[in-house]
Amino acid sequence: MEFDASRQHLPRYRQSTAADLCRDSVFVAADACNADVHALFSERRDLLSLPVLDGGRPIGLISRNIFMSHMSKPFYQELYSKKSCIAFMDKDPLIVECDVSIEDLAFRAVASGEKALADGFIITNRGELAGVGFGLQLMNVVATLQAERNRQIMHSIEYASVIQRAVLKPSRDALARLGDSHLEWQPRDLVGGDFYLVEQHDDGWFVALGDCTGHGVPGAFMTLIASQVLSQSLQRVGPRDPGRLLQQVSGGIKSLLGQTAEQRAVAESDDGLDACLLWFERSTRRLHFAGARIALHLLAPGQPVQVVEGERAGLGYVDTDPGQVWPTHVVELAPDALVFVTTDGLIDQIGGGKAIAFGKRRVRELLAAQGGASARALAQTLLAALGAWQGAQPRRDDLTFFCCRP
């Protein structure tokens, strides 16, 4: 085999085994009497369990607590001292080879019941006694291993968060050139299932918000898939027809995840996203909008909030019709009009005195009350209202919203 010098720096970890828990132990032969066992336990206060051997191989385990409890009863020493020690022996103790992994040992200990954790277990080497192990040792090792694994997982997720934020950075830079605008992106966990894309063009700007299936690590994987499919679709059809673009994204995700009609019976996933796409044409002040389960909110000065609902079909799911159409709605924006879109992390957050969702009505009321505020001030008001509403309730989902006065 060719040696790969580039891998010399990688650490090599030895898997923990039962041998790491093995303690030397005295033992008794199967033909020993209970008087011999009593003498050992009386002499060795540290002796918690005593293996019993027959021909060099362990056949049982005597628990100190159980044995001494019996022998302290009236007349028990007179009756049982000369009898075989197997009278008080556990005839079916947990016996494991020294090369058994800690994970396997933990499962076997739990399956064998309380006695393996309370009284210990026998460890053998090729069938012969090597020593004994105890439940407290096992729990300590398992806890240490789990803590190390959690540390490694958290380190990986933290780095994944860096990657996810790096992917979104070009859109953040483009957003800064939109003028009076604000985009709030708060993943529920270190990484999230919401994503956005902002592009500046000579004749306008393009904004996309996506809310992928799940949150945390699964959601973050979906954002990478969805954002890649969106970028490829933008290269093919451009940003100026959001409805057609949504159709392209839906088809791309169905194909990539094997969720097409032909593969429906064997599809291993049913994932997709809610999304909205905005194209603003500067010369005409026309806003082109298409939504998949995300609505557009518009607020012109002196007017009530206007809501343009998105279609009820999500993108890419198994049940999403391949021929589904997401129409493009075109609206002429008045000067100083407010544009607002949000994923359901804002609307669905549980809170208040009755532990109910924040709701669409409260969002509309807050927008109407802040009609003349800047996008940043409006965002701060929304976040403050959401925080007060949430109270001690846990965060339900990722949160993303975009507001702008083109």
Q: Name all domains of the chain by residue range, CATH numbers in brackets.
A: 18-133 (3.10.580.10), 165-404 (3.60.40.10)
Burial of 108 (0-12, 13-18, 19+ CB in 10 A): middle
User: Residue 348 has what DSSP assignment?
Assistant: T
Closest CA to 193 of 215, 163, 221: 215
The Cα 138–Cα 144 span in angstroms is 10
The per-residue pLDDT for 286 is 97
User: Residue 394 has what DSSP assignment?
Assistant: P
The per-residue pLDDT for 265 is 65
Q: How far is CA 72 from CA 40, 139, 324, 387, in A?
A: 15, 31, 81, 64
Strand 273-281 to strand 306-308: parallel, antiparallel, or no bridges (unpaired)? unpaired
CA 180 from centre of chain: 35
The per-residue pLDDT for 12 is 40
Q: Yes or no: say if 22 and 123 are a contact pair by the CB < 8 Å rule.
A: yes
- Amino acid at the residue 284: T
The per-residue pLDDT for 351 is 96
The Cα 273–Cα 315 span in angstroms is 5
The Cα 245–Cα 276 span in angstroms is 10
* Run of H or E including 147: helix 135-175
pLDDT tens across the length of the chain (406 residues) = 332 333 333 334 457 899 999 999 999 999 999 999 999 999 998 899 999 999 889 999 999 999 999 889 998 888 899 999 998 999 999 999 999 999 999 999 988 888 888 889 999 999 999 999 999 899 999 988 888 888 988 898 898 899 899 989 999 999 988 889 999 999 999 999 999 999 999 999 999 999 999 888 889 999 999 999 999 999 999 999 999 999 999 999 999 898 987 776 677 789 999 999 999 999 999 999 999 999 999 999 889 999 999 999 999 999 999 999 999 999 999 989 999 999 999 999 999 999 999 999 999 999 999 878 999 999 999 999 999 999 999 999 999 999 999 9
Q: Residue 396: which residues within 8 A CB-CB, separation 6 or more?
A: 188, 345, 348, 349, 350
Q: Residue 307: which residues within 8 A CB-CB, separation 6 or more?
A: 295, 296, 297, 298, 364
For the entire predicted model, the pTM comes to: 0.74
- CA 213, 217, 218, 220 torsion-angle sign: positive
Closest CA to 116 of 99, 97, 93: 93
The per-residue pLDDT for 235 is 95
Burial of 51 (0-12, 13-18, 19+ CB in 10 A): buried
The Cα 99–Cα 94 span in angstroms is 15
Q: Residue 183: which residues within 8 A CB-CB, separation 6 or more?
A: 171, 172, 175, 196, 198, 400, 401, 402
